[in-house]
Amino acid sequence: MGLFDIFRKKKTEENSEKSKDSVESLSNQDNSAVLEMPEEIQEPEVEQNLDKTEESVPDHVSESVAIQEPQISVEPEAIEQQIYTKGLEKSRTGFAARFNKFLANFRSVDEDFFEDLEETLVGADVGFDMAIKISDDLREEVKLENAHRPEDVRDVIIKKMVDMYEADGVNEDATMHFNVNGTTVILLVGVNGVGKTTTIGKLSTKYQQQGKSVLLAAADTFRAGATKQLQEWGLRAGVPVVSGKEKADPASVVFEAVAKARDEHYDILFVDTAGRLQNNVNLMQELEKMKRIIKREIPGAPHEVLLVLDATTGQNALQQAKLFKNSSDVTGIVLTKMDGTAKGGIVFAIRNDMQLPVKWVGFGEKASDLREFKPEEFIYGMFKDLMA
């Protein structure tokens, strides 16, 4: 049974249960203002609860969980789902509206149809190459399926997208990797203004609450106020920050922080780097240097190099991933500002083009709005309204 069918089933189940609404409400998250920290004190309970259940049900996407043991998995999964559903509200309605508009114009499968389809897909930031690929693939398929009604066409297209998404993600490993004995070093990289420092702030809050000892390294010595910004996050999360002088060599800060983390046995060290455009060769080399130092001090480190991508970025996102991957062996992606985009198609493009797993996704300004990425929840959140 493919993903597509699972979702279908899920959707049907949801429809039948709609009236009951047994899911615990998350209303306390809904009315909160931006960056209100006190809210998060309530977070660990939900989070831990969630983690525990997840542990006991390791592969919660498999049919057995979703279908045979609804009692156990309903609650945490529903919460997770609700967060995705809410966070992707804009993406979904944007995509659904666009898609429905496209379907409304459907008369027959001809050249115009494919042109419109390409535009619809590119319009959702699915990525240029992928949009063309989907439409090319469908050129044969739709003919085969002999679709005449809009609903048939819709199902074929969505199935195609889900299948492609699934196929591309076969060997994908979206889990975070930790150093079993010693400090785990996590390096964050990305272009300017995507939210690297904010992401570190959120991640360190999360891990701190899980009882890990966390250290932050303020290796963005270039941007005015960047160190201060990280220190502020450190203060909020109750996590120490290693910082250097303004305009100091970031590698020196990294060195100091790595040595401190290793010698004082911190569980996790987050390294915040300055934003850099991927085509700036000198700055990319600076990144390599930092990586070399980390590796020299702690063999095997950094255990994670996370590329932070702004979800509202267009085709350039792929270019960013390519060049950052080349210079610093990115192991995963953090997709930020997902709540601000009506597209979300970027997730398809990333998986299709980059062979890099999305590990975290940011739906808002609060620490709890940064979620582990659940591909299936994501897809479901995107296409929910489009499935009958």
Partner 1 sequence: MAFENLTERLSKAMKNLTGRGRVSEEDLRATMREIRLALLEADVNYDTVKKFVANVREKASGADILEGLNPAQQVVKIVNDELTITMGEEAVPLNKSPKIPTIIMMAGLQGAGKTTTVAKLAYKLKKEENARPLLIAADVYRPAAIDQLEILGRDLEIPVFQLGTAVNPREIVRQGLAKAAENKNDYVFIDTAGRLQIDDVLMQELKDVAEIAQPDEILLTVDAMTGQNAAETAKGFSAALDLTGVVLTKLDGDTRGGAALSIRDVTGKPIKFVGQGEKPTDLDVFYPDRMASRILGMGDVLTLIEKAQRDFDEEAQAKQLEKMRQNTFDFNDFVAQLKQVQSMGPMEDLLKMIPGMANNPALANVNIDAKQFSHLEAIVNSMTPAEREDPDLINPSRRRRLASGAGRPIVEVNRMIKQFDQMRKMMNQATNGNFGGIDKMMGGSGMDMSSMMGGGMPSGNFGQKVQNFAIKQAARRLQKAKKKRGKK
Task: By CB under 8 A, name the binding residues for partner 1.
Answer: 33-35, 90, 94, 115, 118-120, 122-125, 128-129, 132, 191-195, 201, 222-226, 228-233, 236, 246, 277-282, 310, 312-319, 337, 339-343, 346
**Annotated binding residue 381:** no
Minimum Å distance from CB 239 to partner 1? 13
In the bound state with partner 1, the residue whose beta carbon lies nearer, of 79 and 358, is 358
In the bound state with partner 1, the residue whose beta carbon lies nearer, of 185 and 226, is 226
**Annotated binding residue 53:** no
* Cβ-contact 352, 137 below 8 angstroms: no
**Annotated binding residue 192:** yes
**Annotated binding residue 337:** yes
Minimum Å distance from CB 283 to partner 1? 9
Q: In whole angstroms, give the CA distance from residue 7 to residue 17.
A: 15
In the bound state with partner 1, the residue whose beta carbon lies nearer, of 76 and 364, is 364
* Cβ-contact 254, 219 below 8 angstroms: yes
Minimum Å distance from CB 133 to partner 1? 12
Closest by alpha carbon to 349, among 14, 79, 124, 68? 124
**Annotated binding residue 197:** yes
**Annotated binding residue 317:** no
Minimum Å distance from CB 220 to partner 1? 11
Determine the 3-state secondary structure of 202 from DSSP.
helix
Determine the 3-state secondary structure of 2 from DSSP.
coil
Tracing tokens 């950094």 back to the chain, one arrives at: 302
Minimum Å distance from CB 276 to partner 1? 9
**Annotated binding residue 272:** yes
Distance of CA 108 to the CA centre of its chain: 37
**Annotated binding residue 234:** no
Minimum Å distance from CB 69 to partner 1? 38
Q: In whole angstroms, give the CA distance from residue 19 to residue 84.
A: 20
| Residues found in the chain | 388
Q: Is it true that the peptide bond before 302 is cis, omega within 30 degrees of 0?
A: yes
**Annotated binding residue 354:** no
Q: In whole angstroms, give the CA distance from residue 132 to residue 126.
A: 10
Closest by alpha carbon to 346, among 137, 127, 78? 127
* Cβ-contact 313, 195 below 8 angstroms: no
Q: What are phi and psi of 236, to 5 degrees?
A: -65, -40
- In DSSP terms, 189 is beta-bridged to 307
Q: What are phi and psi of 146, to 5 degrees?
A: 55, 50
**Annotated binding residue 361:** no
**Annotated binding residue 194:** yes
Tell me the CA distances in angstroms from 255 to 196, 217, 244, 367, one per residue in order: 20, 9, 11, 28
- Type of residue at 357: P
Minimum Å distance from CB 247 to partner 1? 10
Distance of CA 313 to the CA centre of its chain: 14
Tell me the CA distances in angstroms from 104 to 97, 99, 134, 342, one per residue in order: 10, 9, 20, 20
Minimum Å distance from CB 194 to partner 1? 6
Minimum Å distance from CB 7 to partner 1? 25
DSSP secondary structure string for all residues of 223-244: STTHHHHHHHHHHHHT--EEE-
**Could you tell me which residues are annotated as the binding site?**
190-197, 272-276, 336-339
Annotated binding residues for GTP, written as ranges, equal 190-197, 272-276, 336-339
